[in-house]
Every structure is written in C-alpha cells, then in structure tokens.
C-alpha cells in the first residue's frame, strides 16, 4: 500500500489529509506517519514532507499556495533577482486566512488555490501586480520559452490582467533564449516608442 510520504511528492510535497485519503491513506496511517517523522503535520489536516521549502510551508499555514517570484523560480522560470523576502500566497477567489497577524501578501484571483506552488499561469498574473514591467516580461517570455505555459494559459493570463497589460503580452515571444534577451528587446521597444513620438 502507498505510504503518505510516497504520495506527497505528487503534490509539491504538501497536501491536505483529505487529498491523501483519496489515494487510499487512512487517517490512522497519516497519524502514524506523522508520529514516526516520515511526514510532518503542518496544521490540522495538512501534511508535508520533511525538508520542503520553508516558504511553501508558510504559504500553507497562511491558507494557500506559494506564488509570485518564489513560485515561478521553483517552477524553473528565469526571474530577475528579487530582494523581496515576503511570502506571496494565492488564496483562490475566496480563501480563508489562517494567520492572525503576518507579513504575507495575499492574492485573491479566480480559481481554487491548493497548497504547494501556484501554477505558472496564476503566478504570472500575480507577479504582474507585484513587480515592474521588466521583471514580469522576462518571466513571461521565459515561461513561454520553456513550455511552462501553453496557448490556453496565455489566453487566460490576458483575460485576467488589466487591458493596459496588452501591449506587453503582444510584444512577448516564445523564442527568447534568455532573460537578458527579453530585457534588451523590451528596452529597445520602449526606446523606439520614444524616438518615434
Ligand atoms: Zn501569513
Ligand atoms: Zn505577489
């Protein structure tokens, strides 16, 4: 029979007990695994593998999935260095905050946020709100280039971002080989607009 620590890797290392039970784990098994230390109980009904990213744990304690720069980097998206140490959490449309007082930044956008890492498309939508155009643009092109977002994801991102983000999305391409290439093209474009006007 599958043990909880064998199932958790399929959920970014963290999941609700109810999700694990769907794979045949009983509550007794979960309690036993938590006692033995092969998994950790994060809060009531939430379990994680030992050693997973502390920020993922904090986001789950807050009530959602880690998002923005930290999540994108964990997905393998190239992203400009970010001195921001805050934890950004995707709460879904109407998630409930479990922290009473904290420095987490909550994102309430459509969808059901699980725990672990927010999907790349959702994290890009959040990043747009939390950072500057350059950081977003380079991350968006990197995600596209690495096939981490498909055409359907790009449509969804366009729908969820403000109309004023349209020009950035129009400028983006899927063949940028590096973040620096993305940044250079964006800067030249901006320079071109200024020169033309
Ligand atoms: Zn919090
Ligand atoms: Zn954010």
- Segment 12-49, tens digit of pLDDT: 999 999 999 999 899 999 999 999 999 999 988 999 99
For ligand 1, the distance from its centroid to the CA atom of residue 150, given in whole angstroms, is 31
Instruction: State how beta strands 105-107 and 14-16 pair.
Output: unpaired
**Pairwise CA distance, residues 170 & 47, whole Å:** 41
As a whole number of Å, the CA-based R_g of the chain is 19
**pTM, whole model, 2 decimals?**
0.90
Q: φ, ψ for residue 98 (rounded to 5)? A: -95, -25
Q: How far is CA 28 from CA 17, 21, 23, 31, 87, in A?
A: 11, 10, 14, 5, 33
Q: How confident is the model at residue 59 (pLDDT cuts 50, 70, 90)?
A: very high
| Ligand having the closest approach to the CA of 64 | 1
For ligand 2, the distance from its centroid to the CA atom of residue 36, given in whole angstroms, is 36
Would you say residue 140 has pLDDT above 80?
yes
Would you say residue 197 has pLDDT above 70?
no
- According to the model, what pLDDT value does residue 81 have? 83
Cα distance from N-terminal residue to C-terminal residue, the chain:
68
Please, which residues have CB less than 5 A from ligand 2, an ion? 68, 88, 105, 126, 130
- Segment 87-106, tens digit of pLDDT: 999 999 888 899 989 999 99
For ligand 2, the distance from its centroid to the CA atom of residue 35, given in whole angstroms, is 35
């Amino acid at each position: 029979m599958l043990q909880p620590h064998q199932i958790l890797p399929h959920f970014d290392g963290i999941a609700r007990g109810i999700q694990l039970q769907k794979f045949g784990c009983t509550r007794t098994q979960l309690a036993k695994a938590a006692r033995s230390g092969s998994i950790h109980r994060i809060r009531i009904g939430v379990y994680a593998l030992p050693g997973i990213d502390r920020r993922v744990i904090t986001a789950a304690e807050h009530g959602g999935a880690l998002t923005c720069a930290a999540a994108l980097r964990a997905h393998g998206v190239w992203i400009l260095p970010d001195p921001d140490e805050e934890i950004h959490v995707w709460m879904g449309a109407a998630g409930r905050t479990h922290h009473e007082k904290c420095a987490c930044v909550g994102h309430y956008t459509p969808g059901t946020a699980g725990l672990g890492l927010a999907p790349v498309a959702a994290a890009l939508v959040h990043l747009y709100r939390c950072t500057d155009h350059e950081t977003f643009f380079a991350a968006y092109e990197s995600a596209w280039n690495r096939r981490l977002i498909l055409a359907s994801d790009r449509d969804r991102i366009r729908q969820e971002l403000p109309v004023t983000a349209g020009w950035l999305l129009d400028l983006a391409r899927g063949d940028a080989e590096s973040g620096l290439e993305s940044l250079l093209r964006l800067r030249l474009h901006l320079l071109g607009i200024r020169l033309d006007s």
